[in-house]
Amino acid sequence: MVMTTTSQELKLKTDEELAEWMAGWKEHTGNYILAEIEFKRRLNKNNEVRGWIAIILSVIAIVTSVIALINHIPA
């Protein structure tokens, strides 16, 4: 596959610029696939942030549970 751009260049484009650039390429070509990957990355960005927040909250809950368990055990 021959590509005339990099994913770094596509990240700098706005959604409209990316869509316009993508429309100039035939489906299943390297550039089209690269633009499609960039669109999917942008769509999943919110899910990624929510995932990290969920992991952080889970770790805090586990640590809190362990501390409560340790404090509850009679010495």
pLDDT tens-digit series, residues 13-54: 998 999 999 898 899 888 899 999 999 999 988 898 999 999
Q: Is 28 left (phi over 0), alpha (psi -120 to 50) or beta?
A: left
Task: Check: CB of residue 34 under 8 Å from CB of residue 13.
Answer: no
Q: What is the pTM of this model?
A: 0.62
Cα 51 to Cα 36: distance, rounded to the nearest angstrom = 23
Question: Per-residue pLDDT for 2 more than 90?
Answer: no
Identify the DSSP state of 27: T
Strand locations in the chain, DSSP E?
none
